[in-house]
Amino acid sequence: MNLFNDDPVGAFYSVSGDGDVRLLRGGIGVANGLEWSLDGRRIFFTDTSVGTIYTGAYSANGDITDVNVFTRGAPHDGLTIDTDGNFWGALYGGGKVVHYNSNGAEVFAIDIPALNLTSVAFGGADLSMLYVASARENLTQAQLEAYPLSGSVFAIQTDTQGRQPTPFFSRG
């Protein structure tokens, strides 16, 4: 990513178990929030620089095609999916976690006492706890005083669950 250039140079890459690296998609300003549909046939990714979550078809060999806007209008950083097929996005500079249905419509938003949210992930014994990471970077002294918990990790009990993590195995 390059925050100081109008040319979007960010990209997503895949790394195989053998260590091979392959470009999946370029032309992204700030590549963040990577997630897949429950059936693995669609990929979702955020471009924080243009406030958009995109979705595209995802093939078994990792090709991304038919990319469209899933939702736009907010600087999403982190993104995760729950077992109902709905998405949760962390807003960088927005101090909110937004819950979207599978069609990209906002269900509700949760205010977090930190401005720069960077990641969301499900965890806990039954994967129903949503963890929200935040950053202190790029905040003024006045913002830090107004949001002293910036840089913290927050835990929100949800009425849904995240899916089990997919392990990455390296051959070696």
Q: Could you list the active site residues?
A: 77
- Strand partners of residue 28: 10
Q: Are 114 and 95 in contact (CB under 8 A)?
A: yes
Q: What is the CATH number of the domain that holds 76?
A: 2.120.10.30
Q: Does residue 172 sit within a domain?
A: no
Q: Does residue 2 sit within a domain?
A: no
Q: Does residue 149 sit within a domain?
A: yes
Q: Does residue 168 sit within a domain?
A: no
The Cα 31–Cα 23 span in angstroms is 13
Buried b or exposed e, range 96-120, using 16+ CB within 10 angstroms: bbbbbeeeeeeeebeebebbbbbbb
Q: Does residue 13 sit within a domain?
A: no
What pLDDT, on the 0 to 100 scale, is given for residue 6?
72
Residue that the structure tokens 């949503």 belong to: 130
Query: Number of structural domains, the chain?
Result: 1
What pLDDT, on the 0 to 100 scale, is given for residue 11?
86
Q: Does residue 121 sit within a domain?
A: yes
What pLDDT, on the 0 to 100 scale, is given for residue 44?
95
| Residue numbers in the chain where pLDDT is lower than 70 | 1-5, 168-172
List the domain range (segments joined by +) for residue 46: 28-157
What pLDDT, on the 0 to 100 scale, is given for residue 167?
76
The Cα 127–Cα 79 span in angstroms is 15
Q: Does residue 33 sit within a domain?
A: yes
- Strand partners of residue 47: 31, 52
Q: Does residue 12 sit within a domain?
A: no
